Structure 1
């Protein structure tokens, strides 16, 4: 069966450092007609389960642990039996939302996930959050970047656990070397490509100082 990428937008709130904001999140589902993984279970577990359409869910992958990217993960895991996976450096953020539980497994740099015969490689890309990761699927010419890279620039670094020079290093060293035609599937907003974003690196660095 042919692997495909399904896209769902869910709405809710993001809370950190005493503030709360309304947000729309991209939820990505990678798989075929029989199995799938979910990247960033945001806000609405029922909607995500409905989008799965009865497929076996192999994993719930968290690109990072800001609450808007994980707030539906435990409920989706309970409904499907799928493990929740997170990089261990984001456990302090995770525990702000779920102090009494931990994810089911760890994402590590260079590790791989396979679904529907397609391999996704974990790239540790700290900066927006200490344990932020991207998932690179060369067979799909796609990289799922969470909040590390958006159309038009890097993710925000103005709040706790974030660091602008680190996110720039992550984007430059881990992402901009991917093929320019690689589609960047973001945590919020529209998709872009590596080729469209790479020329702006110098501008981002100047803007951040």
Structure 2
């Protein structure tokens, strides 16, 4: 007869504060009818950002490109309600930041009208405050779109959960060298998978594809 097996009891940690709020937020997000679209984007130009702006990062290039793509495809720059969609003229781009207290999404307001230097300064400020637990209400409100970048952590590709009531979120995977055809010539290029999660109540596949195409154009355009 086999001996009874004793199992160690786990340690219970109640969800409080930001984590509790985030958990409730995710339940609402999970209920949204979503679909995903992925494109491969050449990140060669984005990788040159420090030549143009020493204090900037690839994330800053992504914020600027996303903001400009939102202006070009305004159907994506919306918030989704139960019975209506609210459109915005300016692109307020949130950046998902992991902190000791949970995931925070500080916002770069009016990013479509900012230079790389201005975006870098704003991003550095709000990300720093997020990690210090010092964000203000203004820092985390008003977002119309979110970017989640796990590429620097080696994640090749992933699907992000929509930051409701926003209509879409961009998941950025790692940039890796891939052998591709460019200008009729096969060559190694730095490529990243970018995945757009869309709320189907506000967006359809064609609109999401137009946004990703506009984003890819912005990312490949010369920075200087």
TM bin, normalised by shorter chain, reads: under 0.3
Query: More helix by proportion, 1 or 2?
Result: 2
> TM-score, length-normalised on structure 2?
0.24
Between Structure 1 and Structure 2, whose CA radius of gyration is higher? 2
